[in-house]
A and B are shown apart, each in its own frame.
Chain A
């Protein structure tokens, strides 16, 4: 009964490269959220997706960042042309019914941009 799976756990990219972060939600969960966490900070909401649809991307930077949750396969958070300020831990969470229910989190991907 696997929980939310994120990979990779650690990702190192040079400035200007692309970063792809993957998230497989819990079985039966169709709501996926991406959050970003800086050291000693709380989580900042980025984007909320359901299968094949972006419901709310109000927390995601307009440029370089994109997210998808295809009909088959994991949700992907993609960061193009990474900069040092993108270094953070990125967490994915899933739920059965959206924002009214508890979220189940993965262990995150720690992105370091050198």
Chain B
């Protein structure tokens, strides 16, 4: 079963607005990562937040993590047309045998920024 589930599945907003995507997961984690995927390309790592962190910033990105609710959110401020992409959360489960089974990805949120 999916470890991470993003919500919403799709989001369409106007350029300049803020975009918020959520991710819920099931098991205890070491860290949670967000990735972006442009159509036809590989995933690009955006930000990693560890289980003992609550918030992290990187440029126009803000990620929060609530381990009690097993959820995370990704906020993109002042969105641009170039932010149009799919966004995935990925979890590094705590009891995964040293990370040997890799990150577990959700199905993603497809974000469309209307110019």
Chain A residues in contact with chain B, CB under 8 A? 4, 6, 33, 35, 40-45, 48, 55-56, 58-59, 91, 93, 98-108
CB distance from B91 to the nearest CB of A (A): 10
Cβ of B35: which chain A residues have Cβ within 8 Å of it?
A: 105
CB distance from A48 to the nearest CB of B (A): 5
A-B complex: 6 closest residue pairs judged by Cβ atoms? A99-B99, A105-B42, A102-B45, A42-B105, A56-B100, A45-B102
Cβ of A40: which chain B residues have Cβ within 8 Å of it?
A: 107
Choose one: B41, B45, B96, B101; the contact of A103 (CB below 8 Å).
B45
A45 to B92, CA, bound (A): 12
Q: Are B105 and A102 in contact (CB under 8 A)?
A: no
- B42 nearest in chain A by CB position: A105
- A4 nearest in chain B by CB position: B42
- B88 nearest in chain A by CB position: A42
Cβ of B20: which chain A residues have Cβ within 8 Å of it?
A: none
Q: Are A100 and B107 in contact (CB under 8 A)?
A: no
A77 to B66, CA, bound (A): 37
A100 to B102, CA, bound (A): 9
